[in-house]
């Protein structure tokens, strides 16, 4: 599970193993530890949430994204990339994005690969085809 925070935006990316764990156990969780007794934890769990709209909550140092169980099951079995929801909060809006984590196609040299369980990247197929086409002889093309 990967977490990205930017302004009032929360993006969580789940790989295949994460989504399987979410559906099998009802919850997946990770944390950033600042010492033995201090951590920022984040989780995605199945629970009460409007259809197609994952909800974020923050209580006692824990960020939790809840998704409807039927949405999670349908998401696992589909080509759908994810969910993007504008959640109203006191005096504003938080954008909640829950997405499938796709394999990286343009990793920087020396960067460690951490996407063994990532979903196949549909852009990789397009990039590979375009690369082959660009290298092919231009017979019959003008």
Residue 70 CB burial class (10 angstroms; 0-12, 13-18, ≥19): exposed
| Torsion over CA: 98, 53, 89, 58 (sign) | negative
pLDDT-derived band at 110 (thresholds 50, 70, 90) equals low
Q: Which tens digit of pLDDT belongs to each residue from 57-107?
A: 999 989 999 999 999 999 999 999 999 999 999 999 999 999 998 776 555
pLDDT at position 65 is 98
**What structural domains and CATH numbers belong to the chain?**
2-101 (3.30.1360)
* d(C-alpha 23, C-alpha 60), whole Å: 25
In the predicted model, is pLDDT for residue 1 greater than 90? yes
pTM: 0.74
Pairing of strands 9-14, 38-46: unpaired
Cα first-last separation, the chain: 47
């Amino acid at each position: 599970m990967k977490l990205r925070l930017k302004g009032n935006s929360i993006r969580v990316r789940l790989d295949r193993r994460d989504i399987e764990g979410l559906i099998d156990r009802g919850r997946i969780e990770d944390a950033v530890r600042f010492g033995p007794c201090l951590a920022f934890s984040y989780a995605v769990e199945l629970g009460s949430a409007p259809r197609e709209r994952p909800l974020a909550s923050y209580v006692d140092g824990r960020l939790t994204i809840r998704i409807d169980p039927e949405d999670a099951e349908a998401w696992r079995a589909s080509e759908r990339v994810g969910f993007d929801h504008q959640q109203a909060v006191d005096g504003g809006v938080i954008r909640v994005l829950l997405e499938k984590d796709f394999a990286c196609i343009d990793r920087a040299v020396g960067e460690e690969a951490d996407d063994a369980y990532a979903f196949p990247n549909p852009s990789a197929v397009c990039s590979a085809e375009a690369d082959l086409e660009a290298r092919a002889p231009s017979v019959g093309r003008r």
